[in-house]
């Protein structure tokens, strides 16, 4: 995947359909920049996905091509989700997958927020 330029965006990816309201989600938070909802297959007691409203495949094209306002808005939205979930005191993990080696499944940028128990070592392979 090219880091510069904008890779093709699949308008039918599942998170695009959630953003358009075509598929339901268990919403946690929404603002001008981002939508957050519970992962359908949670890997921790709290497992929430935060997605930007713009059409970005993954972190690389977002960081390269999004406006400063989008980047700030998305970053602050992630923190707002953490606060809404009550995770600031006990801690949490943020993770985003990008491209084939990461096993990214959905080609719309998303940050996973994990929390609710001690999360153990960083990578399980």
Binding site for ligand AMP (CB under 6 A): 14, 23, 25, 37, 39-41, 49, 97, 103-106
DSSP 111: E
Tell the smallest beta-carbon distance from residue 57 to ligand AMP (Å).
11
CA distances from 51 to 26, 54, 70, 90, 117 (A): 13, 9, 12, 23, 23
Tell the smallest beta-carbon distance from residue 39 to ligand AMP (Å).
5
> Of the two residues 12 and 41, which places its CB atom closer to ligand AMP in the complex?
41
> Of the two residues 6 and 27, which places its CB atom closer to ligand AMP in the complex?
27
For tokens 């999360």, what's the residue?
A: 119
Distance CA 6, CA 91 (A): 34
Active-site residue list: 110
């Amino acid at each position: 995947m090219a880091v510069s330029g904008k890779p093709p965006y699949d308008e039918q990816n599942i998170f695009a359909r959630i953003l358009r309201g075509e598929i339901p989600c268990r919403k946690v938070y929404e603002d001008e920049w981002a939508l957050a909802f519970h992962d359908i297959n949670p890997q921790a007691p709290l497992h929430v996905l935060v997605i930007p409203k713009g059409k970005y495949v993954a972190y690389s094209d977002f960081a390269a091509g999004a406006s400063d306002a989008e980047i700030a808005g998305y970053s602050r939205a992630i923190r707002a989700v953490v606060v809404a979930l009550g995770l600031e005191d006990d801690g949490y993990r943020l993770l985003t997958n990008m491209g084939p080696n990461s096993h990214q499944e959905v080609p719309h940028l998303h940050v996973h927020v994990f929390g609710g128990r001690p999360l153990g070592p960083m990578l399980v392979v």
